[in-house]
Chains A and B, each alone.
Chain A
Amino acid sequence: MKADKHLEFEKITAKALPEFEALSPGHRACPGCGEMLALRQALKGLGPNTIVVNATGCIEVVSTPFPQTAWNIPWMHVAFENASAVGSGVEAARRALLRKGRLTDADTTIVVVGGDGGTSDIGFQSLSGALERGHNFIYLCFDNEAYMNTGVQRSSATPEFAWTTTCPLGSASSGKTHKKKDLPRIMAAHDIPYVATATPAHPLDLMNKVRKGAAVKGPAFIHIFSPCPTGWRMPAERSIEIAKVAVKSNIYPLYEVIHGEYVVKRNSKNPLPVSEYFKLQGRFKHLTAQDVRTIQDRVDATMDRLLSYARLSDDTKGRP
């Protein structure tokens, strides 16, 4: 019995997609923006009874150019480093008001939104603190693997070897020299009820994961792979394709951690070689055959580890 069978939530199916749109069209994201697409899907999954706390980043900038807003739900922009702390305050204060009977609607979902910089770098501390305190909110991390809003500088979520403006290519530097921070694994280590990975190329999967995150009591963290044609140096129409290839090549495995138990789905028996993923993007055009082998070995090892976690979760099911 898989852990996800025990998590009760209202599932979205292809035949019954919610009509609700939290984001109006006409916002100023670049063509092919993966994160705005994923955000639209995530908010469809949550419905109108949602409050958003948004860290500084592309989503904030493109959705609210003065004097307009794309948001049809309550939305609050805070600084770069503190979205989870503000989300904590909103959640805790609402809980107090509910307890005193001054608020009656207990079903409102609080969503904290950040990019990879606002989540894995500058906002990491406030996120970790909020998860430890157990605030009942969903954190959505839209990971486009660099600081796209300020002009494609590296983040700790930028993959190894990738070009960015602060990991330039030249005789003394050839892209990022450090590995990508494994954010979902760190979040799972906080022992929160729900952690998942998702992409905009798998919309039903994404919407249902967000719904699961809303259904659990306590913090949920959803890591969303968000292709960025501008920063990844690829054609705008490739965003969905690249997300599919990322999943099929195990560069970005889709999985959930439900109450500590790993559930891996959609992993291919015959994964694509990672070179298929790299060849679509300009930011990897300088990779050597050795670089590609290094990454292939690492991706294989990571997938093995993930599957072993999932097997272990199955084996230990029902034990305290």
Chain B
Amino acid sequence: MSDVQIITGNQAAAMAARLCNVQVVAAYPITPQSQLSEILSQYVESGILRAEYVRVESEHSAMTVCISASTVGARVFTATSANGLLYMHEQLHWAAGSRLPIVMCVVNRGVGAPWSIFNDQQDSLSQRDTGWIQIHCRDNQEIIDNVIQAYRIAEQVYAPVMVCYDGFVLSHTMMPVHIPGANLVRSFLPPYKPHTILSPENPKNINPVLLPNPRMSAEGILCDGYMEMRYKLQKAMEDSREVIMKTSREFADAFGRDNGGMLWEYRTDDAEVILSAMGSVAAEAMAAVDQLRAEGIVAGVVGIRVFRPFPKEDVARAFRKAKAIILFEKSISYGYEGGLSSDLKAAFYRTDIHAPIHDYIVGIGGRDVKARELVEAVKSSVEAIRTGTPEKHTSWLNCITE
């Protein structure tokens, strides 16, 4: 049973947290996430969500509260944006290193300085290497669906999950969303079982100093060194692909919506030119592909749903027939190129994919990205490749660069 409501992305995220019966919420308001934390506090105050809402003085503390509550067995939720996310950075590593299944919505926003409250994805890209799974949403329906799936993934893998969606473009834009029934979500999402039960009868030192080498505990048990613990996190992240794929399939069976496993494809069956992106700009690329096909360019879209773990084998399959690959990225690794561009090129190493890859930086700090602008970019790239200049420096679309 589900009903359709016309809601913003922030409302969708709040409803998802409520449907997942989160027990502790600790969030510090920041534009464009604020509405989400406000709705959750209303849920808690009015009693329709039986959770503790911990008011904190910073995002660093918000994540610390989540870490503590998750450690003692609570299902926790938080959300942030931009500089708030960066302020959490140290605790993001702590959450992943503690292997806690925290779910956080990142409402993507440009990072200051200079200040911007508007959308790009520099914030979550900057947290790529913290050991969190990153899932990107293309519309408000995916926000609610991905938060529900995120808990199931996190609690199986014992790794935290960021559900990323674009600020304003999704967070403040109303669109129809199927709201799943509470019973359906409850049956899809078993209760959270913490990997370690803490109790006064069985006290534990949590995250003690680990030495470079494995060592015997006082009880004669061989304990991991720091390096073994890091390896376990990497292994869990690599193995999480299977869990993510299975969760996606089972979600599709139960809820009737398939948002893709590691990635999704649009009109790629016969596509010669493949556009790729993460988040709402990937949805815009779908509109661009329809226009391109009307003009005779056989194009398709591969949307990257999961950025970490990076879908190495999935992209090698999805792009295998591409003659040209055009990327649109809302973030950049300063001094090099877009993060997706680097990762894709690395994934294609020693495959048969040798198609030119053109990387466009778009929509930084909320600059609007229109489908026709993507169409023009693709056409100019296709023309350049056709006339014998396949290499192209990373370019900034719709930006005064000289």
Q: A and B bound? A: no
Which residues on B are within 8 Å of A, measured CB to CB? none
